[in-house]
Structure 1
Amino acid sequence: MSAIKRKLILIMLSPSSLKFLKELQKNNNKPWFDEHKAQYQEAKADYESLVQQIIDGLSRQDEDIQGLQVKDCTFRIYKDVRFSKDKSPYKTNMGAAFAKGGKKSPYAGYYFHFEPGGKSFAAGGLWMPDAPILKKTRQEIDYNFAEFQDIISQKEFIRAFGKVDGDALKTVPQGYSADNPALAYLKLKSLTVSKSFTDEVCTQPALTREILKTFAVMHPFLAFLNRAFD
Structure 2
Amino acid sequence: MIYQESLEFLKDLAANNNREWFLDNKERYDKARENVIEFTRNLLTEMHKVDPGIDEALDPKKCVMRIYRDIRFSKNKTPYKNNFGISLPTTGLRPGGAEYYLQIQPGNSFIGGGYWMPEAEHLKAIRQEIDYNAHDLRQIIDAPEFIKLFGDFKNQEQLKSVPQGYSVDNENIDLLKLKSFVAWHKITDKEIVNKNAAGQIADVCRHIQPLNVFLRNALA
Q: TM-score, normalised by structure 1?
A: 0.91
Counterpart Cα distance in 1 of 2:93 and 2:79: 21
Separation in structure 2 between the aligned mates of residue 158 and residue 15 of structure 1, nearest angstrom: 30
Determine if the alignment matches structure 1 residue 64 to structure 2 residue 24.
no
Match of 2:152 among 139, 163, 174: 163
The answer to whether residue 185 in structure 2 is matched with residue 195 in structure 1 is yes
Aligned mate of 1:220, from 210, 214, 219 = 210
Please name the residue that 1:87 is paired with.
77
Residue segments in structure 2 that go unaligned for 5+ positions in a row: none
Query: Partner residue of 1:143?
Result: 132
Q: Does 1:75 align with 2:103?
A: no
User: How many residue pairs get matched?
Assistant: 218
Q: Which residue among 149, 152, 164 is the counterpart of 2:141? A: 152
The DSSP-based 3-state class of the residue aligned with 1:180 is coil
Residue aligning to 1:41: 30
Shift of 1:60: 2.2
Query: Aligned letter for 2:113?
Result: G
Deviation at 1:163, TM superposition (A): 2.1
- Aligned Cα RMSD in Å? 1.2
**Structure 2 counterpart of 1:4:** none
| 140-149 vs 160-169, greater mean Cα deviation | 160-169
Query: Unaligned stretches of 5+ in structure 1?
Result: 1-11
Q: Deviations over 1:159-210 (max 9, x none)?
A: 1111224311110000111111221121111110110011111111221121
Question: Contact conserved, 1:72 with 1:102, CA < 8 A, in 2?
Answer: no
Matched residue of 2:96: which SS?
coil
Alignment partners' CA distance in 2, 1:147 and 1:16:
43
- For the residues of structure 2 that align with 1:202 and 1:143, how far apart are their CA atoms? 39
CA 1:109–1:153: 2 relative to 1, 3 Å: same
Shift of 1:37: 0.3
Q: Could you tell me which residue of structure 2 aligns to residue 134 of structure 1?
A: 123
Asked if residue 32 in structure 1 is aligned to residue 48 in structure 2, the reply is: no
The counterpart of 1:121, out of the listed 93, 110, 113, is 110
- For 1:102 and 1:34, the matched residues in 2 are separated by 33
Please tell me whether the aligned partners of residues 50 and 203 of structure 2 are also in contact (alpha carbons under 8 angstroms).
Answer: no
Report the Cα distance in structure 2 between the residues aligned to 1:128 and 1:180, rounded to whole angstroms: 22
Q: Secondary structure of 1:64's partner?
A: coil
Deviation at 1:102, TM superposition (A): 4.4
Q: Which residue of structure 2 aligns with residue 210 of structure 1?
A: 200
Amino acid aligned to 1:218: I
Q: 2:95 maps to what in 1?
A: 105
SS of equivalent to 1:156: helix
AA aligned opposite 2:35: D
Q: Work out the percentage of aligned pairs sharing the same amino acid.
A: 39
Compute the displacement of 1:100 (Å).
2.9
1:101 CA displacement? 4.0
- Read off the aligned partner of 2:169 and give its amino acid letter: D
Q: CA deviation at 1:63?
A: 2.1
